[in-house]
């Protein structure tokens, strides 16, 4: 009997959130985490600057202890940034903060998915992707032989959370996932990668707004929320399609450039 929810038989697969990652990861050779606003965008900015990034699910006392254990600075909430704690989940804040070689970056969405994958008994290769580096990630995956029948890729849109902690599918993550599906499929064109219907739909969503993806992300709920809360620069940075060639890959507990 086939694993319908694992999307077996397809070279490039797509699903949502931690549960989707749990279903797709066991049969995937590579897991691509997409959390555009803002975990994976922040990872791309930090790794691009030379920082090693440790994903962590929660920003609490355990995160403090974890940061001490791995010898890293701990990112704070966007509104908690200060002279003594300048690192946060804000890509704009990370760009203006002093350089740190090691950073723990907690997030209940993308970071939690990455951290869970890292702790699996036999984890796939875990990569973070956002709009900034979608083409670079696609080229790298194809160059490493991923996206073929014997090495399928699972693309996971992290999404956000509703107040009751249920998953809120977020347009920016759907578009980021669609961008990486499009990039990888293009890089594998001669091999004719087979997309699951879920992955094909994500690609279709991205293709529909690719000419002005910034307008779609800025006008969507998450973008409007961040702008209203005073973080328009975070949205602007996240919307810069293919600005970066850096591919963050999970090496042990931390993301480093491929």
Task: Give the per-residue pLDDT at 106.
Answer: 93
Place of tokens 């997030």: 107
Q: Which residues contact 55 (CB under 8 A, 6 or more apart)?
A: 39, 43, 105, 106, 107, 110, 111, 112, 114, 115, 118, 250, 254, 255
Q: What is the pTM of this model?
A: 0.96
User: Is 186 in contact with 173 (CB distance < 8 Å)?
Assistant: no
Beta strand 153-157 with 30-34: parallel, antiparallel or unpaired? parallel
Per-block mean pLDDT, blocks of 10 residues, the chain (258 long): 84 96 94 97 98 92 94 94 93 96 94 83 92 98 96 97 95 98 92 91 98 98 97 98 97 95
Task: Give the homologous superfamily in CATH for domain 12-240.
Answer: ComB-like (3.90.1560.10)
Task: Give the per-residue pLDDT at 190.
Answer: 67
């Amino acid at each position: 009997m086939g694993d319908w929810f694992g999307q077996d038989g397809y070279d490039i697969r797509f699903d949502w959130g931690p549960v989707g990652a749990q279903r797709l990861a066991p049969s995937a050779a590579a897991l691509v985490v997409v959390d555009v606003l803002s975990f994976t965008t922040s990872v791309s900015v930090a790794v691009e600057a030379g920082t090693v990034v440790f994903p962590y699910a929660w920003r609490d006392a355990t995160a403090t202890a974890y940061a001490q254990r791995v010898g890293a600075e701990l990112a704070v909430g966007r509104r908690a940034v200060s002279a003594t704690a300048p690192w946060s989940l804000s890509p704009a804040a990370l760009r203006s903060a002093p350089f740190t070689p090691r950073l723990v970056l907690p997030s209940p969405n993308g970071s939690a998915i990455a951290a869970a994958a890292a702790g699996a008994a036999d984890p796939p290769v875990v990569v973070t992707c956002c709009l900034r580096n979608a083409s670079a990630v696609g080229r790298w995956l194809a160059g490493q032989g991923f996206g073929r029948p014997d090495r399928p890729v699972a693309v996971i849109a992290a999404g956000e959370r509703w107040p009751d902690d249920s998953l809120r599918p977020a347009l920016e993550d759907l578009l980021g996932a669609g961008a990486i599906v499009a990039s990888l499929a293009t890089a594998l064109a001669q091999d004719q990668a087979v997309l699951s219907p879920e992955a094909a739909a994500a690609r279709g969503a991205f293709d529909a707004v690719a000419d002005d993806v910034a307008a779609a992300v800025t006008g969507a709920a998450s973008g409007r929320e961040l702008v209203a809360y005073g973080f328009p620069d975070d949205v602007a940075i996240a919307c810069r399609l293919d600005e970066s060639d850096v591919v963050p890959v999970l090496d042990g507990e931390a993301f480093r450039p491929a």
